[in-house]
Structure 1
Amino acid sequence: MERNEEYNPNLLILIMTIGTFGILSTELGVIGILPQIAQYFNIGINYAGLFVSSFSITIAISSLFIPLIFSKYDIKKVFSLVLSIFVICSFVSALYKNFYIAILCRIIPALFYPAYISLSLTVAAEIVPEEKATESVSRVMMGVSAGSIIGVPITTFMATVLGFKSAMLWFAVVNLIALIATLIFFPNLPGNPTSYGTQISNAKTRLFLVSCLGVFVLLTGICTSYSYMSQFLQTITHIIDLNLSITLFLFGIASLFGNWAAGKLLVSKPNQTVITYPFITAILFILLFYYCNKVIPTVLLMIVWGFLDGLVNNIIQYWIVSAAPDAPEFANGIFISVLNIAITIGTSIGGFIIVSYGTVYIFIGSLVISLLSLIFLALRVRINPDYTK
């Protein structure tokens, strides 16, 4: 894709940021309402967890091929199709109180999710000068951060105050706004004619494999506790209702600052930023383990965690895509796949820990797994120590 002076890159980035916010809100907003989902459908919390895991598993699989398939088509048409599917499925979930229909309405949009996220990250890097690509991507990633974090407290508030249906309608409305903006303001942009085989060949390197493994282990560790954030805040810290929404909102605001900081750090000191991250999160998990039964320390630690969460969204995308710069659509697809496999496995590990040992021990699980990622992160640096782009 070539830069074109006829369109405003800042406007396109804003629209894609709104789109990623809506889509990520739909994906991860349910994390904050798993107890409400269980109550609404009269099911166990483990079955409510399928709202998270079914979405993540579907994305993990479809991310391997959907971005490559859709990358050759007009970007505006692809974005409009994906957002339309999200709007329709969210409305259906609000209208029908049926657990199986609700799960189906999670799986269908998840199939097309990678097309929007992967292509938006690729487009963001290609519509600006090369020296601004990392910063441009970080701006779209701000939509990812806002969707995954700010979307959680908004969804939690809607479900707590107005009920499950209102939360589903919130998903529909925010995606509808992105769809309308895309239809009106987004120009027709040609896709990437590069063949599937060429992109895959460009990514078949030791550097790419090690980068993916490092990101996978790190994210699995984080998601072991992240997926049950609402659970531990309610059951251990006893932060509930409006206070829960406020706490998660503070988490989200902090993540936006982390997202901004990541754009700067990954340009100036990429390797140091990535290698240092697991150590900092390890300290955070230790502090949460000891202080999660105290409200004020926990809220302060949640703000720190929010900042770190904003960092990690950019770190994982950068770490994978920079290992295969000649295959951006494929690399972004793998990034999404690794992210969602890690969410699924981390959620499963966290659930096992909660059932077997208690909620508070999810932080020990996160601590151990996150530190294990250093093996692969350090190996990546050793393979390519001078990489600074």
Structure 2
Amino acid sequence: MNKSIYIMALGAFGIITTEFGVIGILPALSKEFGITIDTAGWLLSAFALTVAVTGPFTTALTAKINRKTILTLVLAVFVVSNILSAFAPSFAFLMIARVLPAFLHPVFWAVAASVAAKEAGPKDAPKAVATVMAGLSIATVLGVPLTTYMADLFNWQASFYLAGFINLIAFAGMAFFVPSMPVKKEAGVKSSTAILRSPFLWVKLLTVLVMLAGMFASYSYLAEFLNKVTHMTGAEVSIMLLVFGVTGIAGNWAMGIALSKNVMITTRIYLLSLVLTHILAYQFGGYFIPMVVILSIWGFVHTGGFLVANIQVTAFMPQQSLEFVNSLLPSFYNAGITAGSLLGGFIIANYGIQQVIWMAVPLLLTAFGLSFYKQPKRETVKEEEAWQPLCATETRPEPALSE
């Protein structure tokens, strides 16, 4: 596989470590700046909100910039952001240092996913995107615990230094080992945004939102579930969350291979597998050993959801709109995660932690139902803007509305 793809995966690792690494040091930051923990939590919330709101716009504005240049620029901004965060004299300064790179966060994902898919070719596109997204999975398993450990070993500033160093290595790799990637003439805002007139795209994006809501309605409260239902100790919960993440890395890799074979069948099997895993967790959640096994399977299945969400949309998009569509996905990811967390919290508050499973299952089944929506045959397109699906093994869909 092209070395550029692995460098982009390292960049993804650095960016996600920067975004979520702050989670483990919120108590230290709360104490340092004399603020409440919920106020400190805005360092994460403001970052996510910025990503959700600005993604499509910043990607459109950078559409004509050389792809290597923009990826390198994003990583450079994340390096500077972490350095500034480490030297932050006040909470307001830290907030600004954290939010500024969030504007470019979706640009990296949109460009990296699109470039990886195009460089790998139609057959291996899902595996290439899976490699980039493995950076996300590994960051959640290793990046966040590493930054937390650095804070415990030294101080909270060390967490930002580590995240900055990771981004610096990715920056160097991008600058010295990735060839120039000029933008083709057909790329542009007008040709990209034309896809917004297709109902098919919006159904796919709705599927992403509902799918992520189903995933995170339960996953957001997994630690609480293991503590209250399975009666695991704090140490046991930590170990099981690590197991969840490690099996998730393997699951992400396997999902890339499966999606290369058939996108929609893999998507539907994924959703039904996650539903079955939730039902098993409900039935056997009170038993320690069975829950260890179930949680390993849950992690293996769950983590591939981000890749499934990406490919089940982009596999059917016109090539000239690929980066624009990829820029929309972080917004719908964040919206789905937020909705799932809120709905799961509502169920827990009113019916108890174990019943949160019955919020996740209907959402996942709804996403399963939406996956059967097909491209309307009445939609037409100019010949030069015909659909070019990412996955050659998938049936070619009907074109979407263009100009």
* TM-score calculated relative to the size of structure 1: 0.84
Percent of aligned positions that are identical = 30
> In 1, are the aligned partners of 2:125 and 2:260 still within 8 Å (CA)?
no
- Partner residue of 2:195? 202
The 1:195/1:154 distance shift into structure 2, 3 A limit, reads same
Counterparts of 1:179-328 in structure 2, within 5 Å, are: 179-193=171-185, 194-230=187-223, 232=225, 237-240=231-234, 245-289=238-282, 292=285, 296-326=289-319, 327-328=321-322
> In 2, are the aligned partners of 1:86 and 1:109 still within 8 Å (CA)?
yes
> 2 CA distance for matches of 1:178 and 1:162?
24
> 2 CA distance for matches of 1:297 and 1:33?
33
Letter in 2 for 1:334: L
- Asked if 1:145 is matched to 2:144, the reply is no
- Partner residue of 1:22? 14
Give a deviation string over 1:288-347, Cα, whole Å, max 9, x none.
Answer: 345556554444333222211332121111011123133111111112221122223333
Give a deviation string over 1:70-93, Cα, whole Å, max 9, x none.
Answer: 231122221222112212222333
Counterparts of 1:348-367 in structure 2, within 5 Å, are: 348-355=342-349, 358-367=352-361
> In 2, are the aligned partners of 1:203 and 1:324 still within 8 Å (CA)?
no
The 1:278/1:133 distance shift into structure 2, 3 A limit, reads closer
> 1 CA distance for matches of 2:33 and 2:285?
30
Aligned residue among 329, 333, 336 for 2:323 = 329
Q: Secondary structure at the match of 2:371?
A: helix
Letter in 1 for 2:171: L
Aligned residue among 125, 133, 138 for 1:133 = 125
> 2 CA distance for matches of 1:103 and 1:363?
35
Q: Secondary structure at the match of 2:56?
A: coil
- Partner residue of 1:120? 112
> 2 CA distance for matches of 1:169 and 1:104?
17
Aligned residue among 19, 42, 51 for 1:50 = 42
Aligned residue among 324, 329, 332 for 1:338 = 332
The 1:116/1:95 distance shift into structure 2, 3 A limit, reads same
Give a deviation string over 1:219-252, Cα, whole Å, max 9, x none.
Answer: 01212233344555567654435x5554333222
The 1:137/1:261 distance shift into structure 2, 3 A limit, reads same
Give a deviation string over 1:347-389, Cα, whole Å, max 9, x none.
Answer: 33344455555555443332332222233222248989x9446
- Asked if 1:369 is matched to 2:369, the reply is no
Cα distance, 1:201 vs structure 2:
1.0
The 1:40/1:233 distance shift into structure 2, 3 A limit, reads farther
The 1:159/1:285 distance shift into structure 2, 3 A limit, reads farther
> 2 CA distance for matches of 1:45 and 1:332?
33
Aligned residue among 105, 122, 125 for 2:97 = 105
> In 2, are the aligned partners of 1:207 and 1:323 still within 8 Å (CA)?
no
- Partner residue of 2:83? 91
Cα distance, 1:275 vs structure 2:
1.7
> 2 CA distance for matches of 1:36 and 1:372?
41
> 1 CA distance for matches of 2:160 and 2:267?
36
> In 1, are the aligned partners of 2:50 and 2:99 still within 8 Å (CA)?
yes
> 2 CA distance for matches of 1:35 and 1:295?
31
> 2 CA distance for matches of 1:99 and 1:228?
28
Q: Secondary structure at the match of 2:331?
A: helix
> In 2, are the aligned partners of 1:145 and 1:255 still within 8 Å (CA)?
yes
> In 2, are the aligned partners of 1:153 and 1:246 still within 8 Å (CA)?
no
> 1 CA distance for matches of 2:221 and 2:30?
14
> 2 CA distance for matches of 1:224 and 1:267?
28
> In 1, are the aligned partners of 2:123 and 2:260 still within 8 Å (CA)?
no
Gapped runs of 5+ residues in structure 2? Answer: 380-392, 397-403
> 2 CA distance for matches of 1:61 and 1:263?
28
The 1:301/1:161 distance shift into structure 2, 3 A limit, reads farther
- Partner residue of 2:160? 168
| Higher deviation after alignment, 371-380 or 292-301 | 292-301
Letter in 1 for 2:93: I
Gapped runs of 5+ residues in structure 1? Answer: 1-8
Letter in 1 for 2:169: I
> 2 CA distance for matches of 1:227 and 1:97?
32
| Higher deviation after alignment, 295-304 or 71-80 | 295-304
Q: Secondary structure at the match of 2:104?
A: helix
> 2 CA distance for matches of 1:354 and 1:40?
33
Give the root-mean-square deviation of aligned CA atoms.
Answer: 3.2
> 1 CA distance for matches of 2:316 and 2:179?
30
Aligned residue among 341, 345, 368 for 1:347 = 341
> 1 CA distance for matches of 2:12 and 2:281?
30
Letter in 2 for 1:50: W
